[in-house]
């Protein structure tokens, strides 16, 4: 087998400020030697038997290195190997010069020389036959058997190349271990090298510059994306807050502008004459009742109670995707609706019953003349009242006797237009409407009912906000006494009745959930989870 030279990787220096260890020297590879080659074995024996010539500093440049000593070979003896032994690695050039001067040209065959314990104290260099590539001998260890030769036998394996370091002229005596490649033919004993032969220069390799390690490149990690904010309808909470802030500021500016413009308009002479002719209300017909009876107060409370829960349940039905409970009537177990829809339709029925009673009592007692326009003067008086409200110089309130024209129109629209629209569209979308009535379904499509029902609900919301705001802004105690205490005085009775009604409405709002509604719904049908 053929071996090739290699360069040992350098490490840290042995002394401070020194060069990396070991020094960089490129050596030729050691030729492979087959154990069964007889000529190689003969050459090795001849080299061992030949007299060891003393080497001088001028003849060769060697590198000595103390041998690390181990345990003694015999009990009580000295550590092995004896003190003073060292290994010498000869360069390929020196071996080639010595061989060319003393021996004829030989064919390549590997011969490994080794030191024996008896030759350790002597100072000699074993003449070696020159080869083209050169090399060092395989370091041998302890024998496998007692009294046997060191293992492995000479010439059985290629030796590891060792570094040759140029040393000063004065060197300690060493015993050379030289691996020499010889030809298969018998090898003659080499003659000693002439004294005048100058030692060959040991080829020294300039240390290659160590590659500078590049700084580790840290991959830029993309920051984790922030989670999307929770949406409430089409916008998040922050967007709703921004929209309300900007919208509120815009409405405030617009309201300020309207107040300024209306006050400028009412200061004109024609508008002054208009206000004098149409103060905001007209006289009721003869026989119109005065005051608000108690049954109107109770009807008012029931109406507010039901309309608030109707709006709550209607919004729940509109936004609910997976109902938690279902209701089916006793007479038709196959028809199932959500419990929220059942509650909404039940409230609708109660609200219609309350409204029917209210209308009947209105016409039975003559109270209808307070909310039903009886003269065309209602329209100019309504415009006059609207301008007075916008100018913040509000008309005088006298609800115990007569409403102003704007109030009258608002109450009439709410009772006789908005309420019937809500009832008719609700019935069309409910289960009470016959599904197989093709003619009715063609005349009154369900899409029309859905298109009208929701805007009517928005009208009720706006009416309640404006109505409650005007009640508190135009004399809260007196107005609350009119509606809840049925008296035309200023005290706190009507106010506390109003507060009690709000508590009842709030409690019903909280209690309107499946846990409370299911037992009530079971009285009229079957409640199931599917």
Question: What percent helix, strand, coil does the chain show, rounded to 5?
Answer: 45, 5, 50
Whether residues 410 and 298 fall in one domain: yes
Whether residues 367 and 509 fall in one domain: yes
Higher pLDDT, 461 or 159: 461
The β-bridge partners of 124 are: 175
- List Cα–Cα distances, 232 to 247, 311, 319, 327, in angstroms: 17, 19, 12, 29
| 360 assigned to some structural domain | yes
Whether residues 378 and 470 fall in one domain: yes
Length of the chain: 530
Does the pLDDT at position 270 exceed 70? yes
CA torsion 31→34→38→39, rounded to 10°? -10
Which of 204-208, 380-384, 522-526 is predicted most confidently? Answer: 380-384
C-beta neighbour count of 174 within 10 angstroms:
24
Does the pLDDT at position 166 exceed 90? no
Whether residues 6 and 111 fall in one domain: yes
Of 146, 172, 201, which residue sits at a domain end?
201
| 481 assigned to some structural domain | yes
Of 149, 170, 201, which residue sits at a domain end?
201
Give the domain range for residue 505.
268-528
| pLDDT category of residue 24 using cuts at 50, 70 and 90 | low
Whether residues 430 and 287 fall in one domain: yes
Whether residues 385 and 464 fall in one domain: yes
Give the whole-number percent of the chain exceeding pLDDT 70.
Answer: 66
Query: Quick one: which of 299, 314, 328 has its CA closest to 426?
Result: 314
Of 144, 175, 201, which residue sits at a domain end?
201
Whether residues 273 and 131 fall in one domain: no
| 286 assigned to some structural domain | yes
CB of 504 closer than 8 Å to CB of 305: yes
Query: Quick one: which of 60, 212, 219, 85 has its CA closest to 139?
Result: 85
Instruction: Tell me the pLDDT tens digit for each residue of 502-521.
Output: 999 999 999 988 889 999 99
- Please give the model's pTM, rounded to 2 decimal places: 0.55
Q: Which pairing describes strands 326-329 and 110-112: parallel, antiparallel, or unpaired?
A: unpaired
Q: Which pairing describes strands 110-112 and 86-88: parallel, antiparallel, or unpaired?
A: unpaired
- List Cα–Cα distances, 226 to 152, 160, 229, in angstroms: 71, 62, 9
Q: What's the number of domains the chain is made of?
A: 2
| pLDDT category of residue 481 using cuts at 50, 70 and 90 | very high
Whether residues 128 and 273 fall in one domain: no
CB of 141 closer than 8 Å to CB of 151: yes
Query: Which pLDDT score, from 0 to 100, does residue 376 have?
Result: 92
The CATH number assigned to the domain holding 415 equals 1.20.950.20
Give the CA count within 13 Å in the CB-facing half-sphere of 107: 6
Does the pLDDT at position 405 exceed 80? yes
CB of 316 closer than 8 Å to CB of 342: no
CA distance 124 to 95: 15
């Amino acid at each position: 087998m053929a071996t090739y030279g290699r360069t040992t990787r350098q490490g840290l220096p042995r002394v401070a400020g020194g060069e990396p260890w070991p020094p960089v020297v490129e050596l030729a590879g050691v030729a492979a030697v087959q154990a069964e080659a007889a000529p190689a074995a003969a050459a090795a024996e001849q080299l061992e038997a030949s007299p060891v010539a003393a080497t001088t500093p001028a003849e060769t440049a060697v590198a000595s290195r103390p041998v690390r000593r181990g345990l003694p070979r015999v009990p009580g003896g000295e550590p092995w190997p004896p003190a003073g032994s060292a290994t010498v690695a000869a360069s390929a050039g020196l071996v080639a010069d010595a061989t060319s001067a003393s021996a004829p040209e030989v064919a390549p065959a590997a011969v490994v020389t080794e030191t024996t314990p008896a030759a350790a104290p002597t100072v000699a260099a074993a003449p070696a036959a020159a080869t083209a590539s050169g090399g060092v001998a395989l370091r041998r260890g302890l024998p496998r058997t007692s009294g046997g030769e060191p293992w492995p036998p000479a010439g059985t394996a290629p030796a590891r190349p060792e570094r040759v370091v140029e040393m000063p002229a004065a060197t300690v005596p060493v015993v050379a271990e030289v691996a020499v490649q010889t030809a298969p033919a018998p090898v003659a004993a080499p003659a000693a090298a002439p004294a005048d032969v100058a030692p060959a220069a040991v080829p020294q390799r300039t240390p290659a510059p160590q590659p500078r390690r590049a700084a580790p490149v840290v991959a830029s990690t993309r920051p984790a994306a922030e989670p999307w904010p929770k949406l409430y309808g089409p916008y998040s909470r922050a967007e709703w807050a921004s929209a309300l802030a900007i919208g509120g500021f815009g409405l405030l500016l617009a309201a300020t502008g309207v107040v300024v413009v209306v006050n400028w308009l009412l200061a004109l002479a024609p508008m002054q004459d208009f206000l004098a002719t149409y103060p905001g209300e007209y006289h009721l017909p003869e026989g119109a009742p005065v005051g608000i009876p108690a049954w109107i107060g109770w009807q008012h409370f029931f109406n507010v109670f039901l309309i608030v829960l109707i709006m709550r349940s209607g919004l729940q039905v509109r936004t609910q995707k997976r109902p938690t409970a279902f209701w089916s009537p006793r007479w038709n177990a196959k028809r199932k609706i959500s419990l929220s829809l059942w509650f909404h339709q039940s409230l609708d029925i109660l609200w219609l019953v309350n409204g029917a009673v209210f209308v009947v009592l209105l016409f039975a007692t003559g109270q209808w003349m307070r909310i039903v326009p009886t003269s065309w003067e209602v329209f100019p008086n309504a415009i006059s009242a609207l301008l007075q409200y916008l100018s913040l110089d509000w008309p005088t309130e006298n609800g115990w006797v007569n409403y102003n024209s704007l109030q009258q129109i608002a109450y009439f629209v709410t009772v006789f237009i908005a309420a019937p629209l809500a009832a008719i569209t609700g019935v069309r979308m409910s289960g009470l409407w016959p599904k197989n009535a093709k003619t009715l379904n063609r005349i009154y499509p369900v899409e029309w009912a859905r298109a009208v029902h929701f805007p009517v609900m928005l009208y009720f919301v706006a009416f309640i906000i404006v109505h409650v705001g005007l009640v508190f802004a135009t004399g809260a105690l007196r107005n609350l006494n009119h509606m809840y205490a049925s008296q035309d005085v200023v005290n706190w009775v009507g106010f506390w009745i109003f507060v009690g009604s709000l508590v009842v409405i709030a409690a019903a709002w909280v209690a309107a959930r499946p846990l409370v509604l299911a037992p009530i719904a079971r009285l009229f049908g079957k409640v199931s989870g599917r």
